Amino acid sequence: MINSIVNKFRQRNFVLGFVAVLVIFVLLGIYKPYVLIEGIQRSSLYALIALPMALLLGVVGIINLAHGDFMMLGAYFAYFMNVQLGMDPLVAVVPALIVFFIFGMISYYITFKHVIGAPELNQLLLGFGLSLVLGQAVNIIATNQPRKLSLDYVSSSMKIGDFQFGTYEFIYVAAAILVLVGLQLFLKKTRTGQAALAVGQNPRGAKVVGININWIYLIVFAISVAIIGAIGPIFGTRNTIFPEVGLAYTLKSFALIAVAGIGSLTGVLWVSLILGLSECLVLSSLEYAKWSDIIFFALIIGVIMYRSHQRQVK
C-alpha cells in the first residue's frame, strides 16, 4: 500500500495534480471557506455513488445503466422501513446491503447474464430497459409522489467565527472513503477480488487458470448493486426521493468514470473533487449560480477533447 503511494509520487503528472489540488484547497479555504466545505461534501456524494459503478465498469467491463435506480430502490427501502417500522435510515444501511446483494444476484440472472460477451449496445439497451422497469415498478407500488423523511440530525451544523456549515454531510466523506478503501482491499487482498481483476483483463486467461468467470461476473454485479443499494438510505436521509431520482446520478457517475479513466477507482475520487468544488464555486456566486449544471458537461467535453487531441499528437 505505502509502496504504491510512494511510487505514485515518482510520476510527474501525479505530483503536479496533487500540488494543484492542494493549492486550490488552500486558496478556496481562504477565499470562500463554505465553498470548500460544501464542495468536499458534494464531491464525496458524487464519488460515493460513482464508485460501485466504477467497480462494475472498470473491473469487469459491465455498463449498468440502471445503476442510479438501484440507489433509488435503496432509498425507498429505507423510507418504508422508517415509516412502517420506525427504523432509522442509517441503520437500514445494513439490511439494505444484504437485501440488495441478493436482489443484485437475481437481477443479474434475469438480465445481464445474457449479454456478457455480447456487443456493448446490448448491455446499454438492457440497462436502459431495466432502469425503466425499476422506475415504473416503484411508480406503480408507491406512486410518483415525492417523499422526504424528516430527521433532526441531518440539519446539524457548526459555526466557526461567523461562518456556519452543515456537519451531517460529512457522512458522505466518511462513506466514500470507506467504500474506496473497502473496494481497494477487496481487489488487492482477496482471491475473489484478484479473480475479478483477472476476468476484467483477460476473460480467456481467467478461465484457463481455473476461475469460474460466470461466478465472478455474478458476484461483482451483486457487490456493486449491494453497495449502491445501501447508499440509497444515506442518500434518502437528506434528499427528496421519487421514482426517477436515480437517473441523473447514473449519468453523472458514468461521466465521472469516463473522465477519471475506466479502471481507476482513486481517479474517480479526484475527478469528483474537482467537479464538486467547481460546482459549489459557481453556485456561490449569485450571478452565475444557474450555470452550475453546465460546469459538469463543460468539464467532460473539455477532458474528452483534450484526450482525443493527445491521441492525435501521439
Partner 1 sequence: MLEVKNLNVFYGKLQILWDLSINVGDESVGLFGPNGAGKTTLINTILGLVKPVSGEIVLDGESLVKMETDKIIKHGIAIVPQDRELFPFMTVEENLRTGNAYIARARKKYQERLDFVFEIFPVLKERLNQAAGSMSGGQQRMVAIGRALMSDPKVLILDEPSGGLQPSLVTEVFHRLKDLKKSVSVLVTEQNVRQALKAIDRGYILENGKIAMADTADNLAGNDHIRKSYLGI
Which residues sit at the interface with partner 1, rule CB under 8 A?
A: 191, 194-195, 197-198, 201-202, 204-213
Q: Which is nearer to partner 1, 143 or 212 (CB)?
A: 212
The crossing angle, in degrees rounded to 10, of helices 265-283 and 33-54 is: 140
DSSP class of residue 229 equals: H
User: Least distance in Å: CB of 188 to partner 1?
Assistant: 9
Tell me, rounded to whole angstroms, the distance of Cα 258 from its chain centroid.
12
User: Least distance in Å: CB of 177 to partner 1?
Assistant: 24
Q: Which is nearer to partner 1, 17 or 203 (CB)?
A: 203
C-alpha triplet 132, 44, 108: angle, nearest 5°? 35
Alpha carbon distance 16, 197 (integer Å):
28
**Which residue from 108, 146, 149 is spatially nearest to 130, judged by alpha carbons?**
108
User: Least distance in Å: CB of 57 to partner 1?
Assistant: 16
Q: Which is nearer to partner 1, 66 or 213 (CB)?
A: 213
User: Least distance in Å: CB of 46 to partner 1?
Assistant: 26
Q: Burial of 65 by CB count in 10 Å (0-12 exposed, 13-18 middle, 19+ buried)?
A: buried
User: Least distance in Å: CB of 212 to partner 1?
Assistant: 4
How many residues are given for the chain? 314
Residues 42/293, Cβ–Cβ less than 8 Å = no
Q: Burial of 225 by CB count in 10 Å (0-12 exposed, 13-18 middle, 19+ buried)?
A: buried
C-alpha triplet 184, 190, 196: angle, nearest 5°? 75
User: Least distance in Å: CB of 12 to partner 1?
Assistant: 19
Q: Which is nearer to partner 1, 46 or 217 (CB)?
A: 217
Q: Is 202 left (phi over 0), alpha (psi -120 to 50) or beta?
A: beta
User: Least distance in Å: CB of 60 to partner 1?
Assistant: 13
Q: Which is nearer to partner 1, 93 or 213 (CB)?
A: 213
Residue the block writes with cell 492525435: 312
Q: Is 80 left (phi over 0), alpha (psi -120 to 50) or beta?
A: alpha
CA diameter of the chain: 64
Residues 58/263, Cβ–Cβ less than 8 Å = yes
Which residues in 166-201 are b (16+ Cβ under 10 Å) and which e?
Answer: bebbbbbbebbeebbeebeebbeeeeebebbbbbbe
Q: Which is nearer to partner 1, 138 or 187 (CB)?
A: 187
Q: Which is nearer to partner 1, 35 or 195 (CB)?
A: 195
Q: Which is nearer to partner 1, 209 or 313 (CB)?
A: 209
Q: Which is nearer to partner 1, 56 or 92 (CB)?
A: 56
User: Least distance in Å: CB of 242 to partner 1?
Assistant: 41
User: Least distance in Å: CB of 185 to partner 1?
Assistant: 15
